[in-house]
A and B are shown apart, each in its own frame.
Chain A
Amino acid sequence: MRSRAAAAVLSREGFKKAYSMEGGIRAWNGLRAAGPPDAGMAYFEPAQKPEEMIALAWILEEGACKFYREMGKKQKGPDEAALFRELSADEEKHKSSLFKIYQRRTGKDGDPGFPRSLLSLESGVDYLEGGVVLNKALEWAQGQELRDILDFSVSLEVNAIDLYIKMERKVEGGEAKEVFQALSNQERNHLKRLTAGLQKDW
């Protein structure tokens, strides 16, 4: 998963020929690696309106928030559980920041159309980066080791950072730029913590 996220970053940065090796080093060694559902997809920026991008970011934060919350419940060790709980709490805060920006930009106090109508999404289905349906990811996570869950989480964060960098570049207005910069910095901090988790013997 990290590898797909990396290839996605490269494509967005202008590498015309970026490929991710399916299954990673385990597959290279002849082992079968089962990736998360629809894991071949990655975020890409088509020409979208800033409001749509804010709505999309909110949806993805909500998905990540729920994913981490469930992972926090599933972990037996206190440190692992705390890591996922903290990540989940942060993503919850990100949702508020995004909604505030949306309100300021549109001048609307409340908007029942935010975020789903803006993206023509049905209610009741949650999504993660790449358009992965949250429930599918949770099903997949059932049988996985901590390492695979961390790997998947890293790919979520890499894509989130990228999304916020794109949004920062695209959006006008200093205040909104600052918010997106703060969000990408916070996701960078998540990425550091998750990567440290991959290095650690739990």
Chain B
Amino acid sequence: MGIMDYFKPVDTWSPDKVRQFLNEKSHQDYNLVDVRTPKEYEQAHLPGAMLIPVGELETRLKELDRNKPTITY
């Protein structure tokens, strides 16, 4: 056993892959979640992204359809 046995990598997508995915799909097909603060969201966000600051995620999971691909940034 080593320390890495306790961890699992998170799947990541490049911005290009996200761009392509968003272009091909309709917004009902995915969850796009901005997990930053409201202030950061106001300054700029991706088109169609919903704001769920990471600290609220745990209590707001119901707002997301877990069967859909979910992209966070």
Q: State the A residues within 8 Å of B (CB).
A: 2-11, 13-25, 27-29, 40-44, 46, 48, 56, 59, 119-121, 127, 130-131, 154, 158, 161, 165, 188, 191-192, 195, 198-199
Cβ-defined partner of A21 (8 Å) among B1, B44, B61, B72:
B72
Known: A25-B45, A195-B37. A161 touches B58 (CB 8 A): yes
CB distance from A67 to the nearest CB of B (A): 16
Q: List 20 A-B contacts (CB under 8 A).
A: A6-B33, A7-B11, A10-B66, A11-B11, A15-B70, A16-B66, A17-B69, A18-B10, A19-B69, A20-B13, A20-B73, A23-B15, A28-B18, A41-B4, A41-B9, A44-B6, A46-B8, A59-B3, A154-B54, A161-B58
Known: A17-B68, A199-B37. A22 touches B12 (CB 8 A): yes
Chain A contact residues, majority secondary structure: helix
Q: State the B residues within 8 Å of A (CB).
A: 1-15, 18-19, 33, 35-40, 44-46, 53-55, 57-58, 61, 64, 66-73
Closest 6 CB pairs of A and B: A44-B8, A21-B73, A17-B69, A6-B35, A6-B72, A120-B1
Are A40 and B10 touching (Cβ within 8 A)?
Answer: yes
Cβ-defined partner of B70 (8 Å) among A19, A40, A188:
A19
**Inside 8 A of B55's CB, which chain A residues have their CB?**
154, 158, 188, 191-192, 195
Cβ-defined partner of B12 (8 Å) among A4, A15, A158:
A4
Query: Measured between alpha carbons, how far is A2 from B73 in the docked complex, in Å?
Result: 8
CB distance from A201 to the nearest CB of B (A): 10
Query: Measured between alpha carbons, how far is A4 from B58 in the docked complex, in Å?
Result: 14
Cβ-defined partner of A41 (8 Å) among B2, B7, B68:
B7
Are B13 and A3 touching (Cβ within 8 A)?
Answer: no
Are B39 and A4 touching (Cβ within 8 A)?
Answer: no
Are B39 and A19 touching (Cβ within 8 A)?
Answer: no
Query: Measured between alpha carbons, how far is A48 from B12 in the docked complex, in Å?
Result: 26
